[in-house]
Structure 1
Amino acid sequence: MNHVIALDVGGTAIKAALVAPDHRLLHEARRPTGRERGPEAVVSGILDFAAELRELGRQRYGRPAEAAGVAVPGIVDDEAGTAVYAANLGWRDVPLRDLLSVRLDGTPVALGHDVRTGGLAEGRVGAGRGADRFLFVPLGTGIAGAIGIDGRIEKGAHGYAGEIGHISVRPGGPECGCGGRGCLETLASASAVSRAWAAASGDPDADAADCAKAVESGDPRAREVWREAVDALADGLVTALTLLDPKTLIIGGGLAEAGETLFAPLRAAVERRVTFQKLPLIVPAALGDTAGCLGAGLLAWDLLAAQQPTTPTEVSA
């Protein structure tokens, strides 16, 4: 069985898989990143995990993986194969692609940004399948975006395309980790809703999922927290769709797990704000937390396809 190794590195856990050419996940596993032991330990854990998967593939299918793909958070230079910076992992300028290739005995390795990689999977085999232009926005600890155009994900000139979470929707609002104020992710991410609901409810352990349940039960405090988050999100999304004109807007991440408690008011809020713009389909992500591994697998298969020699076209005399 031909297969590739896929790794999705998050702030707290590494998800991994062996992925078939038809995108089936042949084997799935996960383990903690070990970030409390420092960035060197995180990198070591990634390399060890990949090596174990390579050996598993060899034993199970009689051959090693043909390539590997890895998705990481933060700032990524995928052309150089470098994990430039990730605040939640503490690393800087890690040549992860080369380190993995050496550890995997020369296996080709592709490196990508976690949100863009998840967007690649949603576009190819998930909720954006068939859409020539889409925007994938996961609402988690922060907010980022992946811009899908004709089957590829736009990186931009400097690798920052899609950073919708840092659009200022409330100028002068809460300070953001990026240094700005009133950024979308300070108001509408799952972590922002968790903070707001913990303060409003007086329960320091309350989170966004608890807020959604309270909204469904009719709690007026929860409804106000939710309304403010949805309004901020709609403002950011309308700015994005005005610039990008996507056919489909895919919302994922932890906040999207609230289902229609999120999507019904969000669709209405976006519709109220559009004027000349065409209203896109607003749909939930389809792949859940497998998107990162599926996307990393796609990176690996795409890398192999790009390395295939082309056959010269015969020219008749």
Structure 2
Amino acid sequence: MELRQLRYFVTVAEELHFGRAAERLNIVQPAVSQQVARLERELGLQLLDRSSRHVRLTGDGERMLREARSVLSAADRASEVAAELASGRSGVLRVGTAPGLRDRLERGLSALRAHTPDLEIQLSSGSTAEHLTALRSGELDVAFVRGETAAADLQEIELWRDPLSVLVPTAYRADGGVKLIDLAGLPLRLPDDPWLRDHLVTACREAGFEPLIGRPIEDFEAAVVEMSTGSPAWTVVYGTACEAADGALWMGLLDPPRTAPGNLLTAAGRSPECLDVLVAAFG
């Protein structure tokens, strides 16, 4: 089933005349008849009752007309959203990304591209702070970040939640979940992520201790090597996928479990229809 077939069927159903439908669509009448007939064959339904004098909808056709209009409306909204997001930039959609979002990005961008094939997509990695700056300056159209930003001048919508996993020396392994208090004697190493830092410092204080903040993580792979070869420390990552080095490190969940919000950020003033389509595509 193609959108073109649905559009032809809806036009014929509204005109109840193949000739007038062809004029509205600016194509020849045989093409309209062929595509509608093909749609009926693919569905296994008779949508139109044809005779030499009239064209009428069948009962199945009336039901299908409602569904077809809904599908076409959704397709038109997706096209409008893509055009709105990329307006003035020759159809370029610029997206700020975060690690571990490949599946979500592929699914959402494919949904937008299905209705706007010429849409060019540019992905940009960076920190939350960098994405906020780029959104405010107009260098990005959309960004995905973890953690709350409290950016009142931007639109922020929570789309998902990721578990927080702890990466620790194997001696601290706890299959039932690692208690923060058990890590009180280890340095806590974190990337430049204000939300994660504030969240963990607060959690440690609630657990009864002040965390010992170690050197910041500038390169995660380098930090893993350091932690696994004689510089014991612990860190926290988003999600549950992380490669530890040579079995010297173990990754697991916290006890009690903690999660981080995954948010869609875009400029203020986006239309509700635009936000609805983005949430449907990437949520």
In the superposition, the TM-score normalised over structure 2's length comes to 0.25
Q: Which has the higher contact order (CA 8 A, sep 6+)?
A: 2
Point out the structure with max Rg over C-alpha: 2
